[in-house]
Amino acid sequence: MNTKSKPTTEQPTFRNNAEVDAKIDAHIKENPEHWNWIKALPRERLERMLILNEVRHLDRQQNFKKNIIDQVEADPARKQAYEILMKDVPEEQRADLIAQLEKRKWRANQSKTQSQRQSPAVRV
């Protein structure tokens, strides 16, 4: 019995999101010269541009995480609180977990602030 897997020659199937497709189509319609410029690019150039966007995205994430960790390190009370929370977490996972918790806290504060702005003040 041969247990080696055969390489597949089938093309992967990609999901379509109607809302995203509509946004893309609208952008193309509003920017036909830019769309023609993109279509004229060689495939290798398109691939490299895509990778560059991914690299930039990863750099932004790393900078954001570094800034969060620097803020925590600069606040002794916050640092101590995280040290207590993270005592059982492996050292190599702590920075990621701290960044996750800080992002959640920030998002919760943002949604609370937005809901306060949206709800009209009741005066008696």
pLDDT digits (tens, 9 = 90+) for 68-100: 999 999 999 999 999 999 999 999 999 999 999
Residues 6+ away with beta carbon under 8 Å from 86? 94, 97, 98
- Counting as low any pLDDT under 50, the low residues of the chain are 1
Q: pTM of the predicted model, to two decimals?
A: 0.63
Alpha carbon of residue 78 to chain centroid:
25
Burial status of residue 10 (CB atoms within 10 A of its CB: 0-12, 13-18, 19 or more): exposed
Q: Which helix (H) or strand (E) holds 77?
A: helix 76-85
Residues 6+ away with beta carbon under 8 Å from 49? 41
Check residue 48 and give its pLDDT: 98
Q: Within 10 Å of residue 72's Cβ, how many Cβ atoms?
A: 19
Check residue 5 and give its pLDDT: 57
- Cα–Cα distances in angstroms (integers) from residue 111 to residues 38, 75, 99, in the given order: 37, 24, 18
C-alpha–C-alpha distance, residues 73 and 80, integer Å: 9
Structure tokens at 55: 């690299």
